[in-house]
Amino acid sequence: MALAVLTAALALAPNLPLDAWQSAQPAATAAKTALPKIRLIATGGTISNRTSGRLTADELVASMRGVERYARTESEQFANTSSAALTIEQWLGLARRINTLFAADPDLAGIVVTSGTDTLEETAYFLNLTVRSDKPVVVVGSMRNPSTLGYEGAANLLQGFRVAAEPQSRGQGVLVVLNDEINAAREVTKTDALRLQTFQTRGYGILGVVDSDRVVYYRNIVKRHTKGSEFDVSTIQALPRVDVVMVYQGASGDVIKAMVDQGAKGIVIASAGAGATSGTQGEGIRYAIDKGVFIVTSTRAGGGRIASRRSASAPPSESETNADNPGPQQTGGRFRIAAEDLAPLKARILLMLALSATRDEAEIQRMFVEY
């Protein structure tokens, strides 16, 4: 209503007497104040990486034509580098900064974070587990840089601001917005090295879309996240080392042993199928377990769930009948965790946070079920 009054007042402004124009000013101020306040936190990435130098947070905000219709904007420069160059310490700092902003400013309706796309899904999932507010946090990026014909960064950023300003986004967890689509941080994956439609949620589908008339949601996330998370980064100074091992034909277990010897506290196995390893990896896993290193079994297949135990009525899979390279159900028990449906990269993030809180196998398995 306030926006309509403002539009009408501006349309009649040339013909309004002075006293009438002055009376329209409170309506204009009210309309602007009624818009949600959204802050941009820029970390860099392709979205800012033009050939003459990286765009700043302020320049990114200025690139969004029409954003004033949806939000009052603020911006800050947290970093300006590639996503692969962000450190774990910077992840912790970013989560703390977001939590501080939400706690200090009740009027702040949401936050948009820019990121390079190469590791965007990891940054988004880390924030999904560590931001302690149900206010929207939206991670955006672009596949083309500002110096390239067809640069889509400004459009993605504007859509991110629209999603962050949308009341229905509250309580949805950290969101990833590119190519007019909304995906959940927990589920989204970069599926193509170059194409604009690279970010997808295989199996489950998008959460919603950003169309010209409005933001539309089709489903909600049921897993724990953000405000419901138990992980408090304000008390965490560093995260334990967790590595990822890919299963491939004839793979050596020496790689796993080397990770253990170099200080890994957990290892995520990106297994073949539903838990199979290969070569001498089984030997490496046993070595890790003997040293007290946690093993999380995930799948490299791109989809599917690794269960914590096999149903007594279900026939064993190839993974479970491979005596030389046992799957998670065969080895079972101590220091063994099933990743459920988390992709290997995200299982690593959850294990790092879990190990910062506990070394109890049952508790960590509970976390993988709930998150």
**Residues annotated as part of the active site:** 46
- Structure-block tokens of residue 263: 């200080």
Residues composing the chain: 371
Q: Based on the number of CB atoms within 10 Å of its own CB, is 59 exposed (0-12), middle (13-18) or buried (19 or more)?
A: middle
Beta strands per DSSP E along the chain: 37-44, 49-50, 53-54, 72-81, 108-114, 137-140, 175-178, 181-184, 189-190, 199-200, 208-210, 215-217, 242-246, 266-271, 294-299, 336-338
Contact 82, 44 (CB under 8 A): yes
- Name beta bridge partners: 178: 181
Query: 214: which residues sit within 8 A by CB, 6+ positions away?
Result: none
Amino acid occupying residue 157: L
Based on C-alpha coordinates, what's the Rg of the chain?
Answer: 24
Separation CA 367–CA 252 (nearest Å) = 30
Separation CA 109–CA 224 (nearest Å) = 21
Q: Based on the number of CB atoms within 10 Å of its own CB, is 49 exposed (0-12), middle (13-18) or buried (19 or more)?
A: buried
Separation CA 26–CA 73 (nearest Å) = 20
Separation CA 371–CA 340 (nearest Å) = 10
Q: SS3 letters for 220-252?
A: CCCCCCHHHCCCCHHHCCCCCCEEEEECCCCCC
- Structure-block tokens of residue 19: 């006293």
Q: Which helix (DSSP H) or strand (DSSP E) does residue 155 occupy?
A: helix 153-165
- Max Cα separation, the chain? 89
